[in-house]
Amino acid sequence: MYVDWRAHGFELLFIFGLGSYLYCDMTREATQVRQGDKRRARTFSSSSSSRTRIRMVRAWYMDDSLDDQRLEHQLSPPQSVSLEDLAKNTGVMYYKLDPKKYEEEGKLSRIKEERGYNYMDVIQVSPEKMHNYEERIKVFFEEHLHTDEEIRFITEGSGYFDVRDQEDHWIRIEVTPGDLIILPAGIYHRFTLDTKNYIKAMRLFTGEPVWTPHNRPADNMEARKNYVLQQSKGFMVK
Ligand code: KMT
C-alpha cells in the first residue's frame, strides 16, 4: 500500500505516538501487577508468619498420673482433640483474637454484643499477683461447675482448662494469649496454671457476675441437668 507521507504525516505521527503510549502503559501495568504480587506475597508471608506466632489452641486427652498438675499430662501416644470435636461433644466454644490488637480488631466487641456480655474484669493468677494464691489455686483445680457460662479471654501467660467429655474423660485445653474460651453452664471442669506459673485473663459475664463453684457431685443442679440433656442431643457447632 502506498502512503503519501507528506499528505498523512500528521496522522501517522499521531498513530505511532498513541501506539507507543499504549505499549508503555501496558508494560508499566504488567510491572505493577508483578510488584503487587510480590507485595501480596510478602504481606501473606508476614501475616502467615505472625499467624504461626499466634498459636492455635491445643487440646488432648489426659493421662491419670498424679504428677504435678501443671505438667501437660499427655497420653502415650498423645491423643489430641480437635476444636470441632471439643465443641460437638462438650459445648466448649473457642475464638482466636489478636492478643495485642483485639480492640482495633473489633472481634471482642462483636462477641460481647452477640452473646450479651456486659460485665468485664481482669484476673491475674500467679504466686506474686494473687492474694491467697495457694488456697485459690486449689479451688480452681477442684472439679466443679457453674450455673452460668465461664468466659475467659487470655491476654498474657498461659494455663490449662480441663473439661469432662461425654464419657467422663478429662480433656486438657491449653490457653495462651488471644484465646477466648467459653465453658457452658453445668460442665464439670477445673483450671490450673502450667509450669510458667502466670496467666492474665479478662473475665466476661452477663449481668451481675456469679463466680460460685459447685464441686462435684452436683448432678441434681438445674444447670447440670440442662447441660447433660443438651449433651445427649449434641451441641450445635458454628
Ligand atoms: C476460674 O474461675 O476457674 C478462673 O477464673 C480460673 C482463672 S482464669 C484463667
DSSP assignments along 130-164, one per residue: STTHHHHHHHHHS-EE-SS-EEEEEEEE-EEEEEE
Residue of 123, 141, 162 to test ligand 1 pocket, by largest number of atoms within 8 Å of CB: 123
- Is the CB of residue 184 less than 8 Å from the CB of residue 223? no
Q: Is the CB of 204 under 6 A from ligand 1?
A: no
Task: State if residue 177 touches ligand 1 by the CB under 6 angstroms criterion.
Answer: no
Residues 6+ apart with CB under 8 A from 76: 63
The rounded distance, in Å, linking the Cα atoms of 177 and 170 is 23
Task: Work out the pLDDT band at 18, boundaries 50, 70, 90.
Answer: very low
CA of 50 to the centre of ligand 1 (A): 28
Q: Is 201 in the pocket of ligand 1 (CB under 6 A)?
A: yes
Mutate to test the pocket of ligand 1, among 57, 92, 125 (most ligand atoms within 8 A of CB): 125
Residues 27-86: pLDDT tens digits?
343 333 333 333 222 222 223 334 445 667 899 999 999 999 999 999 999 999 999 999
173 burial via Cβ count (<10 Å: 0-12, 13-18, 19+): buried
- Flag whether pLDDT at 222 surpasses 60: yes
Distance of CA 1 to the CA centre of its chain: 72
Between 237 and 227, whose confidence is greater? 227
Helices (H), 60-194: 83-90, 102-105, 107-115, 133-141
125 CB under 6 A from ligand 1? yes
Reported as a pLDDT band with limits 50, 70 and 90, residue 221 is very high
Q: Alpha-carbon dihedral of residues 179, 171, 87, 114, nearest 10 degrees?
A: -40
